[in-house]
Amino acid sequence: VAKIGFLGLGNMGAPMVENLIEAGHIVHIYDVLPELRAPLVALGAIDALTPLEATRDVDIVITMLPSGAIVRQVYEGPTGIFNTLDCRGLLFIDCSTIAPDDARALAAGATRVGAEMIDAPVSGGVRGAIDGTLTFIVGGSSQTLEKARPVLENMGRAIFHVGEHGAGQTAKICNNMMTGILMAGTAEALALGVRNGLDPGVLSDVMRKSTGANFVVERWNPWPGVDQNSPASKGYAGGFKLGLLLKDLDLAIQSAQSSKAAVPLGSAARNLFQIHALGAVENVGMDMSIVQSLYYPISIAESVQQPALMLPRGN
């Protein structure tokens, strides 16, 4: 049993905490939004009113936060963990998706205060977090990974050690660029089919068994009602916020610029999602599969009220 401080209880963090509690760990939790803590406290988590309170009596700190700027503030800020806590002997696991340079700077900071750190961004989405089947993509030393492994295994299934500090983030960014491209491509294909008289569910079944098969069409269908478990069938709530995907696509483009790689499809996907974000501010907080409505006038209200397979209004 480990004593864990967990910071960031959003779409991913909350179900990860649930799995840690179920595995028997003592989990101290903190999020800037207090309403996210109560349901986890009911399951056995220990409430903390500040990040310091959540981390001062633990062996392991896990962070699952929105952006590199926030992660750095939480660890390195004037009231951050490195500056307020006796960090000697602690293990820090950052599961957020952030820039590789930020991950390297944080790991160096951890070393300076006598702690160890790995970047361990995840893949598998909210469903992977709930099912405890996340993929962890780890950068850092193998010795530190071995210390983290038992806890990672309580939240995920596959654990990849891809290289030194920051390498986990590099791999994660490549993966998410691919996810953005797949989401846009799948939404585009579904809208083309529907505009030509096809049922989106039937077309999805065809693609699942054909060369167009991919994770999005399998487990993240962007058309409301096709997959009852996908965010599209829940008013595009939960899931992976479009704003977070945009952050990752921006990270991919920054990586491409600094390494002189060409990412024409990643750039196209980034611009497509950015146009959608600029079109309506509420899209930013919705699951990224909301991009379907850029291709076709989906009725979000109908998608929640009538979860059965439906053909939305045409235009």
Does 310 contact ligand NAD by CB under 6 A? no
Q: Residue 70 CB, nearest distance to ligand NAD (Å)?
A: 5
Q: Of 171 and 203, which has the nearer Cβ to ligand NAD? A: 171
Evaluate whether 62 touches 93 at the Cβ level (below 8 Å).
yes
Q: Residue 34 CB, nearest distance to ligand NAD (Å)?
A: 10
Q: Of 131 and 199, which has the nearer Cβ to ligand NAD? A: 131
* Rg of the chain over all Cα atoms, to the nearest angstrom: 20
Tokens of 296: 């076709």
Q: Of 201 and 239, which has the nearer Cβ to ligand NAD? A: 239
Catalytic residue among 3, 147, 172, 247: 172
Q: Which parts of the chain fold into alpha helices (H)? A: 13-22, 38-42, 51-55, 68-76, 81-84, 100-112, 125-131, 142-153, 167-195, 200-208, 215-219, 242-259, 264-279, 292-295, 300-305
Q: Residue 88 CB, nearest distance to ligand NAD (Å)?
A: 23
Q: Residue 161 CB, nearest distance to ligand NAD (Å)?
A: 18
Does 9 contact ligand NAD by CB under 6 A? yes
Give how many residues touch ligand NAD by CB under 6 A.
28
Does 294 contact ligand NAD by CB under 6 A? no
Evaluate whether 74 touches 65 at the Cβ level (below 8 Å).
yes
Question: What residues between 83 and 112 interact with ligand NAD by CB under 6 A?
Answer: 96-97
Nearest position to ligand NAD, beta carbon: 10
Evaluate whether 203 touches 190 at the Cβ level (below 8 Å).
yes
Evaluate whether 250 touches 271 at the Cβ level (below 8 Å).
no
Q: Phi and psi of 168, rounded to 5°? A: -60, -45
Question: What residues between 172 and 211 interact with ligand NAD by CB under 6 A?
Answer: none
Does 80 contact ligand NAD by CB under 6 A? no
Q: Residue 206 CB, nearest distance to ligand NAD (Å)?
A: 26
172 as an active site residue: the answer is yes
Q: Of 136 and 310, which has the nearer Cβ to ligand NAD? A: 136
Handedness of CA 265, 267, 268, 273 (dihedral sign): positive
Angle in degrees, 0-180, between the axes of helices 100-112 and 167-195, rounded to the nearest 10: 150
> Which residues are known to be catalytic?
172
Residues near ligand NAD, by CB under 6 A = 7-13, 30-33, 36, 51, 64-66, 70, 74, 96-97, 122-123, 125-126, 239-241, 244
